[in-house]
Amino acid sequence: MEYTVLRSQRKTMSVSVKDAKVIVRATMRASTQKIEDFVNRHRVWIMRRVKEQEERHIPDFADGTFVEILGRERRIETGRTKLTSDTLYLPRENREEALIRLLKTLSRERMTAITEELAARYGFRYERIRVTSARTRWGSCNVRGTIAYSFRTAVLPEELMRYLAAHELCHTRHMDHSKAFWDLLEKIIPNCKAQRRKLKSYLWVMKCL
């Protein structure tokens, strides 16, 4: 396994993976053998992280390409960050960062509105809503009633946003995925199982943003 060693005045060793490259941070006096043993002890974790990053899809944000936002494809053009019915305007530089900022805003606006509407209609109570950069899950709900959504929810069509909001609201009453949880969710989203399957078709966004 190839890796880069960075030595500094530190007391312990650490390993990280960035852009599928392995970096070991070691003490000034750590021997080559000690560093190699350290890497071998963490080999499984390292290889998993390398594989994940190698498989990550690198999106193309050039003018003329298309990106899906709010369930609809938009053509990318150069301009001040803005979303119209069929066009996504992004600045010439740092386009991915600009897109992520836009998605965070859209996610906060739409998921908050949908969650508030469903909560009022079905009598749910929750503490607050957060938008995060979570890559492994679309949403979560903790025991205090805080609901968190990944900013990547902004790519989803309205029906899947509603499914996610209902899913997390149901967790304010059932913190597991028991039969009672699914029965409650099905009362709100009658086709919830079909929506759950459809949501899997959007997992690509977790790998590219």
Residues 50 and 108 in one domain: no
Residues constituting the chain: 209
Q: Encode pLDDT of 36-82 as tens digits.
A: 999 999 999 999 888 877 666 667 789 999 999 999 999 999 999 99
Burial of 124 (0-12, 13-18, 19+ CB in 10 A): buried
Say if 95 falls within a structural domain. no
Say if 73 falls within a structural domain. no
Task: Specify the number of domains making up the chain.
Answer: 2
What are the strands, taking DSSP E only, across 81-203?
Answer: 82-83, 87-90, 128-132, 139-141, 146-150
Say if 107 falls within a structural domain. yes
Say if 85 falls within a structural domain. no
27 close to 11: Cβ distance less than 8 angstroms: yes
Say if 84 falls within a structural domain. no
Mean pLDDT score of the chain, rounded to an integer?
92
Say if 114 falls within a structural domain. yes
Regarding predicted confidence, which is higher, 209 or 83? 83
Residues 201 and 121 in one domain: yes
What pLDDT score was predicted for residue 14? 94
100 close to 209: Cβ distance less than 8 angstroms: yes
Say if 66 falls within a structural domain. no
* pLDDT for residue 101 is more than 80: yes
153 close to 111: Cβ distance less than 8 angstroms: yes
Report how far residue 126's alpha carbon sits from residue 109's, in angstroms, rounded to the nearest whole number: 17
Residues 34 and 115 in one domain: no
Single-letter amino acid, residue 116: E
**Structural domain span for residue 17:** 4-55
Sequence-separated (6 or more) residues with CB below 8 Å from residue 78: 63, 89, 90, 91, 92
If you ran DSSP here, which 8-state letter would residue 58 be given?
A: -
Percent of the chain with pLDDT over 90: 82
